[in-house]
């Protein structure tokens, strides 16, 4: 039986990205591959954008007298020599089986599993670099939060990476703060993974029976197949050869689940991605309401309405694959909403803007060191998209956030704006 076979090949993982969150995920994965040697190669490649780095004070290896600390060093050499990402995750001991690699093409070339964990503005360039250089049957997981929204449409990062590379890409999102996970403080996350059903023992979607004389198809664990993205686009996927252990929910979970990082697997990539994006818009409203002194109940009401509008968004624009339970019952939904509306930066800046009577842009400038709030940009993008669809009124909370940001409405108006008048 295929399920009992010892597979001759193992999965090799490459983490594309090595910031705070990328390095943390690499740590999680490196710990897990060591414990699942039957499935995964023991070495985890991590692509590191090469830079010269001076060891900072919060590094475990900071010692003003040492040679190492006297002048800048290459970051990859520091990671591989000290097993610490001194720049982006200082103070955290990394497993020795993380191999930092400055060459992204070299890092991905043998990987059957690509973990995308880099700032979204670099996605395009990195995909251009590795396109055609990775294994054609590789599978991906995007840990990049958010969605790309414009007048024209709303795209998931997992989809755009998948389309660019011609591979299937799932998504990971949850109520997660990288630095806390790095310290092994307990939290949960959600991984969405649902490549087309391509088991070679089943007929393919085209009806070809399993094991039929189709060249290499009999040796493929899952036949080449046509996938449909959450937006309904068709995509040709190459099957994973049968020499590899299957990449099903159980095995993907083994890659991410730790005693301090509990994973729940779902199929719904759109839900996981939307949860991580739209909560930032809701967090602004929660911050305003809290800033007005309206108390925890008002804040909880905003979150509840935010959950409903997120569901409505998913049902309107990703009806093929979206499931409301992803938002109401998973870490990427309700839990991330709660966390973001409790102490996230969008929430905090919105609250300060009310308490100090300043615009949120002023607060953003003062508090975020040049960084931008994701909630405000997402609110504008979502509004522009909804307007183009003629659906602003169906999303009264999202629209209210836009109107308050624009100065058309006051935060005090929110209850009236989101009250259903036609019931």
Residues that bind a second copy (CB under 8 A): 174-177, 180, 185-188, 250, 253, 259-260, 262, 289, 294-301, 303-304, 307-308, 311, 325, 328-331, 334-336, 338-339, 342-343, 415-416, 419, 423
Q: What are the tokens at 160?
A: 């755009």
Instruction: Pick between residue 180 and residue 362 the one whose CB is nearest to a second copy.
Output: 180
* In the complex, least distance from residue 304 CB atom to a second copy, rounded to whole angstroms: 4
- Asked if residue 161 lies in contact with residue 116, where contact means CB atoms within 8 angstroms, the answer is yes
d(C-alpha 42, C-alpha 34), whole Å: 6
* In the complex, least distance from residue 294 CB atom to a second copy, rounded to whole angstroms: 5
Instruction: Pick between residue 136 and residue 295 the one whose CB is nearest to a second copy.
Output: 295
Instruction: Pick between residue 14 and residue 298 the one whose CB is nearest to a second copy.
Output: 298
* In the complex, least distance from residue 246 CB atom to a second copy, rounded to whole angstroms: 16
* In the complex, least distance from residue 232 CB atom to a second copy, rounded to whole angstroms: 26
Q: Tell me whether residue 279 is one of the annotated catalytic residues.
A: yes
Residue in 10, 12, 279, 323 annotated catalytic: 279
* In the complex, least distance from residue 344 CB atom to a second copy, rounded to whole angstroms: 8
Instruction: Pick between residue 254 and residue 383 the one whose CB is nearest to a second copy.
Output: 254
Query: Can you give the three-state secondary structure of the chain, one letter per residue?
Result: CHHHCCCCCCEEEEEECCCHHHHHHHHHHHHHHHHCCCCEEEEEEEECCCCEECCCCCCCCCCCCCCCCCCCEEHHHHHHHHCCECCCECCCCCCCCEEEECCHHHHHCCCCEEEECCCHHHHHHHHHHHCCCCCCCCEEEECCCCEEECCCCEEEHHHHHHHHHCCEEEEEECCCCHHHHHCCCCEEEEEECCCCCCECCCCCCCCCCCCCCCHHHHHECECCEEEECCCCCEEEECCCECCCCCCCHHHHHHHHCECCEEEEEECCHHHHHHHHHHHHHHHHHHHHHHHCCCHHHHHHHHHHHHHHHHHHHHHHHCCCCCCHHHHHHCHHHHHHHHHHCCCCHHHHHHHHHHHCCCCHHHHHHHHCCCCCCHHHHHHHHHHHHHHHCCCHHHCHHHHHHHHHHHCCCCHHHHHHHHCCCCC
Instruction: Pick between residue 190 and residue 224 the one whose CB is nearest to a second copy.
Output: 190
CA angle (170 as vertex; 331, 381 as ends), nearest 5 = 75
Instruction: Pick between residue 99 and residue 417 the one whose CB is nearest to a second copy.
Output: 417
Instruction: Pick between residue 30 and residue 334 the one whose CB is nearest to a second copy.
Output: 334
Q: What are the tokens at 312?
A: 């409505």
Instruction: Pick between residue 185 and residue 372 the one whose CB is nearest to a second copy.
Output: 185
d(C-alpha 351, C-alpha 362), whole Å: 13
Smallest Cα–Cα separation from 41: which of 84, 7, 11? 11
* In the complex, least distance from residue 84 CB atom to a second copy, rounded to whole angstroms: 22
* In the complex, least distance from residue 114 CB atom to a second copy, rounded to whole angstroms: 25
* In the complex, least distance from residue 53 CB atom to a second copy, rounded to whole angstroms: 28
**Catalytic annotation, residues:** 279
């Amino acid at each position: 039986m295929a399920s009992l076979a010892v597979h001759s090949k193992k999965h090799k993982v490459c983490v594309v990205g090595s910031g705070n969150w990328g390095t943390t995920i690499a740590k999680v994965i490196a710990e897990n591959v060591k414990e699942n040697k039957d499935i995964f190669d023991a070495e985890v490649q991590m692509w590191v954008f090469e830079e010269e780095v001076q060891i900072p004070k919060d590094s475990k290896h900071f010692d003003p007298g040492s040679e190492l600390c006297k002048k800048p060093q290459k970051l990859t050499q520091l990671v591989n020599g000290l097993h610490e990402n001194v720049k982006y995750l200082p103070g955290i001991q990394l497993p020795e089986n993380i191999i930092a690699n400055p060459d992204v093409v070299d890092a991905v070339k043998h990987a059957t599993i690509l973990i995308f964990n880099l700032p979204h503005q670099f996605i395009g360039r990195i995909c251009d670099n590795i396109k055609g250089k990775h294994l054609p049957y590789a599978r991906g997981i995007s840990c990049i939060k958010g969605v790309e929204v414009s007048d024209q449409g709303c795209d998931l990062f997992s989809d755009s990476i998948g389309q660019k590379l011609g591979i299937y890409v799932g998504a990971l999102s949850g109520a997660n703060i990288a630095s806390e996970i790095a310290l092994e403080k307990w939290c949960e996350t959600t991984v969405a993974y649902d490549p087309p059903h391509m088991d070679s023992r089943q007929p393919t979607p085209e009806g070809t029976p399993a094991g039929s004389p189709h060249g290499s198809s009999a040796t493929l664990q899952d036949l080449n197949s046509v996938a449909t993205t959450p937006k309904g686009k068709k995509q040709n996927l190459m099957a994973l050869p049968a020499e590899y252990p299957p990449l099903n929910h159980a095995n993907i979970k083994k890659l991410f689940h730790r005693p301090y990082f509990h994973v729940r697997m779902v199929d719904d990539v759109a839900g996981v991605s939307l949860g991580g994006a739209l909560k930032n818009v809701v967090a602004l409203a929660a911050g305003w309401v809290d800033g007005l002194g309206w108390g925890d109940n008002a804040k909880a009401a905003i979150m509840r309405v935010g959950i409903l509008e997120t569901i409505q968004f998913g049902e309107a624009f990703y009806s093929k694959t979206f499931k409301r339970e992803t938002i109401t019952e998973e870490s990427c939904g309700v839990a991330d909403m709660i966390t973001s509306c409790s102490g996230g930066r969008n929430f905090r800046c919105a609250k300060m803007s009310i308490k100090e009577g300043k615009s949120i842009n002023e607060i953003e400038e003062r508090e975020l060191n040049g960084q931008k709030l994701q909630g405000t940009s997402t609110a504008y993008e979502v509004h522009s998209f909804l307007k183009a669809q003629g659906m602003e009124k169906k999303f009264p909370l999202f629209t209210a956030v836009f109107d308050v940001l624009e100065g058309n409405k006051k935060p005090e108006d929110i209850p009236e704006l989101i009250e259903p008048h036609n019931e």
